[in-house]
Amino acid sequence: MTRPATTSPARRARHLARIYLSESPTLYLPLARRRYPGPSPEVIGRDTELVIDGYTRCASTFVVHAFQLAQPRPVRLAHHLHASSQIVEAVRRGVPTLTVIREPRGAVLSQLVREPDVDLRDAMLAYARFYEQLMPHRDAMVVSDFPESTHDLATVVRRLNGRFGTTFATPSLDADMREEVAELVRARPTLSPVVLGFESGLVSHDELLASRGVVGGAVTYGGVSPAGSPELWAPSAQRDQEKAALAGAWTAAPRRLRERALCAYAAFTVAPGAQAPRESHR
């Protein structure tokens, strides 16, 4: 994998400004609505029925697609903003909220593969601050860790229904659903309005299937030809190799940043009195 030797000061400044700005619902959400008019990312609004969001690379795409595939009708979702302010605003409005999380090493290294111009230290800081900002609201949402999000989403949705009195259908995550989710993830780099609209609850499953086609052996939706690098969105051997190549950078990063990220993860996922997970170097 080719990475810049250093991240430019200007790029770091922009990234750090986004980190801090995205924590303010008052300042950031109006800007986000102008920058992301839809269909994805989707910013919370008066039609939002559910918020599914979290730090980047924490399986939010998998969860959003699997959730929508399970529903008998499209559900209006706010999602993929990757800003803590979106979740804080959802709590303030009393909107059902599912926050996804992943242990920081996996999330941050996956982010660097997807965004090679992001500085590792800034990503570690961003991860920690994201979940630190949400801690005062932790009890007002449902939280799903990466293994549960990808292997037991039905239990997560049942917790949502129990917590908020909703009646969302539970995803089966059987082989057929997993294949359809994988197909949608691979098609996402096309930025097909049909796929993105399906995520946000603006396109039904029937409309999604009606738009499905095949071009050059690749599945398309809405006639949009494949583009981008699906390997960077979906799990792949290539992505695993690139993450492995970055493992040394994680270990060499300032210890205080690693510990802060791990503490944020533990506080957000570990029940009071339970032992926090130790850092893994695998």
pLDDT at 277: 47
Asked if the model's pLDDT at residue 2 lies above 50, the reply is no
CB 131 within 8 A of CB 55: yes
Q: Is 135 exposed, middle or buried (0-12, 13-18, 19+ CB in 10 A)?
A: exposed
pLDDT at 162: 97
Average pLDDT over residues 43-72: 98
Question: Over the range 236-271, which residues count as b (16 or more CB within 10 Å of their CB) and which as e?
Answer: eeebeebbeebeeebeebeeebbebbbebbbebbee
CA-CA distances (angstroms) from residue 142 to 29, 53, 63, 137, 185?
22, 11, 13, 10, 24
72-84, pLDDT tens digit by residue? Answer: 999 999 999 999 9
Give the Cα-Cα-Cα angle 220, 221, 222 (nearest 5 degrees). Answer: 125
Distance CA 93, CA 54 (A): 18
Distance CA 201, CA 76 (A): 4
pLDDT at 234: 59
233-271, pLDDT tens digit by residue? Answer: 556 666 677 778 788 999 999 999 999 999 999 999 974
pLDDT at 241: 76
More confident residue, 219 or 228: 219
pLDDT at 226: 64
Does the global pTM surpass 0.95? no
pLDDT at 273: 41
Q: List, in order, residues 6 or more apart from 175 with CB less than 8 Å away.
A: none
12-50, pLDDT tens digit by residue? Answer: 999 999 999 999 999 999 999 999 999 999 999 999 999
Report the first-to-last Cα separation within the chain, whole angstroms: 20
3-state secondary structure of 14: helix
Asked if the model's pLDDT at residue 228 lies above 60, the reply is no
More confident residue, 232 or 213: 213
pLDDT at 4: 46
Q: How confident is the model at residue 274 (pLDDT cuts 50, 70, 90)?
A: very low
pLDDT at 233: 52
pLDDT at 282: 36
Asked if the model's pLDDT at residue 194 lies above 80, the reply is yes
- What the chain holds in terms of domains, given with CATH numbers, is 15-269 (3.40.50)
